[in-house]
Amino acid sequence: MPARLNIVWKAMRARVQGRAAIVSDSRTAADQGLRSSLIETLIPESLRAVGAYHVQNAQGLLKLDAMENSFPLPSTVEAAFRSRLASLEINRYPSPHPQRIEQQIRQLYGIADESAMIFGNGSDELIQLLITVIAPQNRVVLAPVPSFVMYANLAKLLDCQFIGVPLQADFSLDLAAMEEAVRTQRPGLVFLAQPNNPTGVAYSQATILELAEQCRQSGSLLVIDEAYEAFTDYSAIGLEQQFENVLILRTLSKLGMAGARFGMLFGHAAWISEFDKARLPYNINVFTQLFIEVALDHYDEFMAQTEALRASRSVLESQLKALPWLDVFESEANFVLVRVLPKRDSDAADGTATDALAVRLHKAMRQQGVLIKCLHGGHPLVENCLRLTVGQSHENEQMMAALIDAHKHLEDGEGGIG
């Protein structure tokens, strides 16, 4: 192409591209404006105001951040599940009320014939179901804080008022404050995690009975969330018969079945029948139903793993208590909560040097290949706190080694601890 024509061609192409860019920019701006306008119009402010639930990336790391059972699936369960997969009718909808599973659960947990139950895609779905059903009549949800974040998150998502009643400094329940809040606010739902997450504290039976009575007098439903029941000696089963306003929530996630997503809600038959109307009819898929049925036939093997984790928890707590720079809280769950202490008293007094101790230690441990949960910033009561999932013995040893080494490096000046 002659030089003169080549220059003209380049100029024309640049002009066309410039116009296209202007059109594209204007369309992009218009699209963004339209999307922004539509989002503000169609998406409720209660949803826009909250963030998505964050799950840490655990690829390549020892994962001790989510209170999972790290034992492998028992070989007997795997073999039985595989043998029945071939006959699974994947072309059929799942049973909306799996009777075999209900029979197994009644026998294992001692659920009275007078009590009813429904199942959910994890206990999260059941929490959402409870709030969804109750919210049109009573938009107040109450729970102690800090506790399981989904109580507050789902309440806010469904445009309810969430009232958090702070625990006491030792993480015990402030019963007087809870009763006063129930009496004055008259919430539709009161959630109580027993044992509590993230503190690991289990409340006394007398405390729960007193709270249940106050909820009854105030016309509130008390939901006792027993996600970690297998790791303590207390069970609320039976209270749903003693108090018609008490519901009991459980999950199989902490026993080694987190991936199956299976939650249970027990309560007075009249209540359960109402909640069942709002439950999606096929919410538990056929794979989960088959696996849960097989797993419950081998429940004792999962409980053996649980007992091993309870023993490991005791050893881990003793090792953690030997570290002078940690404040260790007794746990009745499958995790241990610790607070990272300042090196000098003056650091705690000025309120600045200790602000990010847990954050820095969490980051340093991640760099060493161990993932735990940093709670700093979530609530004033858990400032500089870390939550350590109890793993198998060799995993706990690796976690302890990483914790001690990370603290030493920070104390020696690589990120500095005071």
Q: pLDDT tens for the chain, 418 residues: list them.
A: 555 555 545 655 656 565 555 545 555 555 666 567 888 888 888 788 877 877 888 788 999 999 999 999 999 999 999 999 999 999 999 999 999 999 999 999 999 999 999 999 999 999 999 999 999 999 999 999 999 999 999 999 999 999 999 999 999 999 999 999 999 999 999 999 999 999 999 999 999 999 999 999 999 999 999 999 999 999 999 999 999 999 999 999 999 999 999 999 999 999 999 999 999 999 999 999 999 999 999 999 999 999 999 999 999 999 999 999 999 999 999 999 999 998 755 454 444 444 479 999 999 999 999 999 999 999 999 999 999 999 999 999 999 999 999 999 888 775 544 4
- Phi and psi at residue 235, in whole multiples of 5°? -135, 140
Helix (H, G, I), strand (E, B) or coil at 30: helix
Say if pTM beats, i.e. exceeds, 0.85. yes
Residue 342: the pLDDT is 84
What is the bridge-based pairing of β-strands 140-145 and 161-166? parallel
DSSP state of 309: H
Contact between 357 and 371 under an 8 Å Cβ cutoff? The reply is no
Angle, vertex CA 241, rays to CA 237 and CA 246, nearest 5: 75
- Counting every residue written for the chain, the total comes to 418
Q: Please report, as a single letter, which amino acid is at residue 65.
A: D
Domains and CATH numbers, the chain: 62-66+301-411 (3.90.1150.10), 87-297 (3.40.640.10)
Q: Quick one: pLDDT at residue 345?
A: 53
What local confidence, expressed as pLDDT, does residue 227 receive? Answer: 98
Residue with tokens 């340093």: 364
- C-beta separation of 314 from 331 below 8 A: no
pLDDT computed for residue 288 by the predictor: 98
Residue 354 confidence (pLDDT): 45
Inter-CA distances, 86 with 75, 81, 83, 157, 287, Å: 18, 9, 7, 41, 11
The DSSP bridge pattern shows strands 335-340 and 373-374 to be: unpaired
Looking at this protein, which amino acid is placed at residue 175?
A: L
Q: What is the pLDDT of residue 410?
A: 87
Predicted pLDDT at 54: 78
CA 187 to chain centre: 22
pLDDT of residue 47: 82
Contact 47, 157 (CB under 8 A): yes
